[in-house]
Every structure is written in C-alpha cells, then in structure tokens.
A and B are shown apart, each in its own frame.
Chain A
C-alpha cells in the first residue's frame, strides 16, 4: 500500500545548529503537507507544497518538494528551543488531492539550550 517514510526518527541538536528532516513517498504525490506537533499537543499545519521542485520559506524554515514529487524536506536554520516538537509530512491518497492523508512517522526534534 501507499507509504510515506520519514527520517530520521529522532534528532537532538544544540540551539543554533541546523536541522533537516526528509520525507519519501512510495508513490507520486499531488501535494505534500507539513505539520508540527509540540509535546502534549496536536498537529499544526505548517505548509503545503504542490509544484515539482517547489521551495518555500517561512522565516528559518525551508521546505522543498522534489522534482519527481516523491520526496520532500524541511530544513530549520539556527534552531531555537521553540522549535522542539515532532515534524510530520503527509501526502494525499494516490491519484487524489482530497480527503485521506498518509502521514510519515515524524521526526522528533529536541533542542538543547
């Protein structure tokens, strides 16, 4: 079945270091979404990428969608303690843009002050 894989599962960094999480899909995606879940919280939507090769930035966060639309990455520059949480990528069901999302297992980021 359709799968979305994410690596690494855990990442521990010192404040100020950079962080990257990678997402790979077993199928071509029409779009990919990224969410952040703080400890004890719920997923919060960060961004959606739609176009092949698309790059979007949100302050210190840079999101990329691969040329083949099967992979994506999230890069955080100069991490801060407020970046702590689990970052998930999610893609819709194959052949669809609607409804069901397949989530990766997430990358849990810990930032040491």
Chain B
C-alpha cells in the first residue's frame, strides 16, 4: 500500500512569506502528526490531528498552524517565515495515534528560508 506522501519535497522561500505543506496519510490512518527536524533541536512536535480535530499541540508560535480534512489529508501552514524556520518538516500517520501502533513518516518537506 502507498506510504505517507508529502509535497512538495523541497521549498525555498523568502523571509516574511508564508508556506503551505501537504501530507497524505496512509489510507485508513486517522491520526496525522507534524514534526520539525533540525540539527540543533532534533525532532520537535508541532501538532497532531485526529478526525479533523487538533488533539495535541507543541510549543511553537501561532505562525504555525494546520488542519485536517475529512479524507484525513493534512496541511501545515507557516506564516511570516523566519530564517530559523528552515528545517525538514515531517508528517507521520498512525491508525489511531496511540498504543499498539508506530507512526509511519513521510519523506518530508525540506524548507529553506532565505
């Protein structure tokens, strides 16, 4: 079966711009989480959606937002981009997002802010 699909794979944006990243989870997976990965901070949790509702939120500023659609696809938006937002953004899906299941990660979107 198809894995987690993230688009685009690479993105270059200018400071102050906004960006939208997309994630299509594995069919049947209802939980979608987003992580930011940087060499300095490692894997940092952004938020988790389950059945179109944000169930958990990490410690990121309000410039980072997301949503989930009825087909479980998710989008993440970052407004007013800063240089420090340059990172690999990973989406992960899970059937229920909890015990008994690991998360399947997508290949990520590499965002570079210049």
Assign chain A's interface to a size class.
20 to 34
Chain B: interface residue total (CB-CB under 8 A): 26
Q: How many A-B residue pairs have CB under 8 A?
A: 66
CA gap between A86 and B31 in the complex, in Å: 25
Judged by a CB distance under 8 angstroms, whether B56 is at the interface is yes
A47 partner residues in chain B, CB cutoff 8 A: 102
Q: Which of B53-104 touch A at CB < 8 Å?
A: 55-56, 58, 90, 92, 96-104
Would A106 and B106 be within 8 Å (CB), given that A100-B33, A100-B48 are in contact?
no
Query: Is the Cβ of A100 less than 8 Å from the Cβ of B45?
Result: yes
A103 partner residues in chain B, CB cutoff 8 A: 35, 42-43, 45
Q: Which of A52-109 touch B at CB < 8 Å?
A: 88, 90, 92-93, 97-106
CA gap between A105 and B42 in the complex, in Å: 6
A44 partner residues in chain B, CB cutoff 8 A: 105
Judged by a CB distance under 8 angstroms, whether A28 is at the interface is no
A46 partner residues in chain B, CB cutoff 8 A: 102
Most buried by B among A30, A99, A100, A101: A99
Judged by a CB distance under 8 angstroms, whether A43 is at the interface is yes
| Minimum Cβ distance to chain A for residue B44 (Å) | 8
CA gap between A30 and B48 in the complex, in Å: 18
CA gap between A51 and B107 in the complex, in Å: 31
Would A42 and B105 be within 8 Å (CB), given that A31-B99, A99-B33 are in contact?
yes
A interface with B by C-beta (< 8 Å)? 30-31, 33, 35, 41-48, 50, 88, 90, 92-93, 97-106
In the A-B complex, list the 5 residue pairs whose CB atoms are closest, starting with the nearest. A45-B102, A103-B43, A98-B98, A99-B56, A100-B56
